[in-house]
């Protein structure tokens, strides 16, 4: 843990590096994750095997094994971002009107 951090008492963190300022909401679950500065994690969000900084993750969103660090991002309520490991590899997206996606 580095820098100013606010973690709700009901949040569960396991093998996670935190670099504040960060706010982590109630019921959030973080495992094998890096949460960088200026990031807010909403209630009941789940982050596993992922890295994120300078971002907002809204309630009940899920990030799992994304494969690259997310930065300057907004992850909507209940959204799911995950990496698939099946072959052949491909990127599959479902996005709404006016959405923007930047791929590395």
Q: Are 65 and 47 in contact (CB under 8 A)?
A: no
- Work out the burial of residue 39: count CB atoms within 10 Å of its CB; fewer than 13 is exposed, 13-18 middle, 19 or more buried: buried
Q: Which helix (H) or strand (E) holds 14?
A: strand 12-14
pTM for this model (two decimals): 0.87
Per-residue pLDDT of the chain (104 residues; tens, 9 = 90+): 889 999 999 999 999 999 999 999 999 999 999 999 999 999 999 999 999 999 999 999 999 998 889 999 999 999 988 888 878 877 777 777 777 777 77
């Amino acid at each position: 843990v580095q820098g100013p951090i606010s973690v709700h008492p009901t949040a569960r963190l396991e093998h996670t590096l935190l670099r504040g300022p960060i706010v982590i909401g109630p019921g959030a679950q973080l495992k094998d994750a890096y949460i960088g500065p200026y990031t807010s994690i909403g209630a009941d969000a789940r982050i596993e095997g992922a890295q994120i900084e300078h971002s907002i993750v809204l309630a009940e969103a899920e990030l799992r094994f994304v494969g690259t660090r997310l930065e300057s991002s907004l992850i909507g309520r209940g959204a799911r971002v995950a990496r698939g490991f099946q072959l052949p590899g491909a990127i599959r997206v479902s996005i709404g009107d006016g959405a923007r996606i930047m791929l590395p």
